[in-house]
Amino acid sequence: MPSDEEKLSLCLSPSQPLQHQCGDGRRSLLRKPFDASLGGFGSTLASTQTKNSTQFAQPLSKTDVNRLHCTTIVSNPFQENTFVAHLEGRDDCLIIDPGLEPDKITAYLAERNLEPAAILITHGHSDHIGGNHALKARWPECPLIASVDDAEKLTDPEKNLSAQYGLPITSPPADQTVREGDRLDFAGFELEVLAIPGHSPGHVVFVWKGASPMVVFGGDVLFAGSIGRCDFEDGDFDDLAEAIHSKLFTLPDDTLVLPGHGPNTTVGEEKRANPFVGRPAGYQDS
Ligand SMILES: [Zn+2]
């Protein structure tokens, strides 16, 4: 069995202090939502412990972003972020990366009278799929969507790393698989799929380009001040860095990144200060 510290490091860069990424485990498990209709990202994101709140203190110009409600539900023991996103006036929602404490997710949906339109999986590691079984049992018609290259991890405890951590986990199989360039349209969101391998070969992110600023549901690719671990058997730092540079750092600087662990960040902030892939590591805008 791994130590608690090893457990917490499942998806994080091994060279980054755990405290920085994971918090101390005592923070609120159900963080306040950022709610664009209540004054924009500036005031509301500041309440979600983001360290870069000034990045979001700007007027929002597009109606669809003003209707966004997005809540982060943090699951132990890996401090994994599940996102529940819905648009004002609608009762359907997206669930991104259901974590290991699905009761928190179902409770939130019940409280808000929300129905999931789709469950989106960024990658197949166990801390991001641990809630799939419970959610599919509750909403069997809700499609479970994962990338074509990581789908096999959902049903294989060795490949999703849960067996190695002493708690084998499987998920129902994906109902739909996606790949680079695919478009998804659920709950009023039009999302583009981008493949960002390196932490896991089939890792994808979901980009809502119809928002201003754009929003990336990012999984374990780019964190605030860090990146996803690349030292797993199927990991590759060069792949990760190249994909971040070519696909994320080419998005507008104010693009909001909602990562699978830790606080929110922006593309511009990570270009400026990320020690692994940003300017401190030699990155230059082309
Ligand atoms: Zn991961």
Q: Which pLDDT score is estimated for 6?
A: 38
- How far, in Å, from the CA of 230 to the mean position of ligand 1? 10
Instruction: Measure the CA angle with vertex 27, ends 261 and 206; round to 5°.
Output: 25
What would the pLDDT profile of 269-281 be if each residue is shown by its tens digit?
999 999 999 999 9
* Phi and psi torsions of 38, nearest 5°: -110, 40
Q: Exposed/middle/buried for 26, CB within 10 Å: 0-12, 13-18, 19+? A: exposed
Cα 31 vs. chain centroid, distance in angstroms?
15
Q: Which of 13-27, 52-66, 123-137, 158-172 has the lowest mean pLDDT?
A: 13-27
Instruction: Measure the CA angle with vertex 120, ends 139 and 208; round to 5°.
Output: 130
What would the pLDDT profile of 67-97 be if each residue is shown by its tens digit?
789 999 999 999 999 999 999 999 999 999 9
- How far, in Å, from the CA of 10 to the mean position of ligand 1? 7
- How far, in Å, from the CA of 11 to the mean position of ligand 1? 4
Distance CA 214, CA 16 (A): 27
Stretch (H or E) spanning 145: strand 144-147
Within 10 A of 277 (CB to CB), how many other CB atoms are there? Answer: 24
DSSP letter for each residue of 15-76: TS-HHHHHTTS-S-SBPPPEEGGGTHHHHHHHTTT-S-GGGG-S----HHHHTEEEEEEEET
Q: Give the model's confidence band at 221: pLDDT under 50 very low, under 70 low, under 90 confident, else very high.
A: very high
Q: Is the confidence at residue 245, as pLDDT, over 80?
A: yes
- Spans of all domains in the chain: 27-280
- How far, in Å, from the CA of 46 to the mean position of ligand 1? 26
- How far, in Å, from the CA of 124 to the mean position of ligand 1? 7
Q: Which of 57-61, 116-120, 235-239 has the lowest mean pLDDT?
A: 57-61
Q: What is the mean pLDDT of the chain?
A: 82
- How far, in Å, from the CA of 88 to the mean position of ligand 1? 30
- How far, in Å, from the CA of 126 to the mean position of ligand 1? 8
- Span 27-280: which CATH code? 3.60.15.10
- How far, in Å, from the CA of 200 to the mean position of ligand 1? 7
Q: Is the confidence at residue 55, as pLDDT, over 80?
A: no
pTM of the shown model: 0.82
Q: Is the confidence at residue 228, as pLDDT, over 50?
A: yes
Distance CA 251, CA 88 (A): 25
Q: Is the confidence at residue 196, as pLDDT, over 90?
A: yes
- How far, in Å, from the CA of 57 to the mean position of ligand 1? 30
